[in-house]
Structure 1
């Protein structure tokens, strides 16, 4: 597959090298020709000087035969404009844009442009390294709005239903790992000993959800 990358910073150069190792052809676009030094002497793809939303520059980079386009420059506006041109003008099937502002990322997702919100994604990766298992999110959507958590569950939840657990935590049980196999629970599914419970929760509620799951059910609930 031919891949066009807009932005030859550390991320763009790293992606280009990784794609070549996987035997894809690559063209990298950057407005600063000095940036191509990051590619190193082993890079065999195209180096195109220009802006990633210029039609002529994109055509020179081979966008018309590209199966994928990644906009990873340091500018949110440039990334999203380039991604939209690649998708809407040239019909590139797989397009992604790196976005620093998570609020913008949510808007662009609604426009059909997959985004990676760098700040929330990096924050999650750091938390997963720093915090105990089950506290940080196992996955988060690109906008940073929804997180998937493997929550520690208090032993008194054993024998209680998923409906009760969801009511107490305010989160939705996405799936349960039981004896090494994943199951999709219903509201009537009963939590068993040694279950690993994965829940979907909104950002900003992760601490509350984790605390509620780790606490015993309230009396009468």
Structure 2
């Protein structure tokens, strides 16, 4: 999925790196070209200099093909204007804005634009708002190299063992939520209908793991 981020401060640069680690394409917009120095040397996405709510700037950043947009600059007004343009003009499905003023945040939530306050911000909280279910990590280690995520799986995995699921995906099943309770599985634990399976994986392998689990088990598994 393509994600456009408006604002390349500490939040925007961290979010861009985290999204690229799980194989999403990213474009970052900032009015100050020097802000792009915060991006890691491994960053492969677009760097677009300009105002984040300018239509042409957004189009240059790929907003017309974007599945998600995050407005995380240091200005409430800029964030909410750009978020509304992304949602209302370009029809981006997943939009989130960082808001400093809690009173404003309540208003924007009523407009259907999720907001993230500054103090309790985390990269993964933003990612869970932006990305489809099952893609963002529930937990990530401080280096960003390892993640724990809920793994959506094909219905045909029901009745198969944890060992078989691990062999097919390359992930390690960390725990299972079953009927509201946590289960610490072993290799012989059988996957049941309505299980929520959480796996530990290297960040760069998340897309491959989710793709493998979404397929029916191969014959012989």
Max Rg structure: 1
Whether 1:52 aligns to 2:52 is yes
Aligned to 1:150: none
**Highest relative contact order (Cα 8 Å, sep 6+), 1 or 2?**
2
TM-score by length of structure 2 reads 0.55
Alpha-carbon deviation of 1:181?
A: 3.3
- Looking at structure 2, the residues matched to 95 and 181 of structure 1 have their Cα atoms a distance apart, in angstroms, of 32
Q: 5+ residue gaps in structure 1?
A: 123-178, 183-221
Alpha-carbon deviation of 1:180?
A: 7.1
Q: Deviations over 1:66-101 (max 9, x none)?
A: 000000000000000000000000000000000011
TM-score by length of structure 1 reads 0.55
Q: Deviations over 1:168-194 (max 9, x none)?
A: xxxxxxxxxxx9739xxxxxxxxxxxx
Whether 1:85 aligns to 2:85 is yes
Aligned to 2:75: 75
- Helix, strand or coil for the counterpart of 2:29? strand
* Cα distance change, pair 121–56 in 1 and its aligned pair in 2 (3 A): closer
Query: Following TM superposition, where does structure 1 have runs of at least 4 consecutive aligned residues deviating by more than 2 angstroms?
Result: 119-122, 179-182
* Cα distance change, pair 111–44 in 1 and its aligned pair in 2 (3 A): same
Of residues 35-44 and 55-64 in structure 1, the stretch that sits farther from structure 2 once superposed is 35-44
Aligned to 1:105: 105
**8 Å CA contact retained: 1:5, 1:69:** yes
Q: 5+ residue gaps in structure 2?
A: 123-178, 183-221
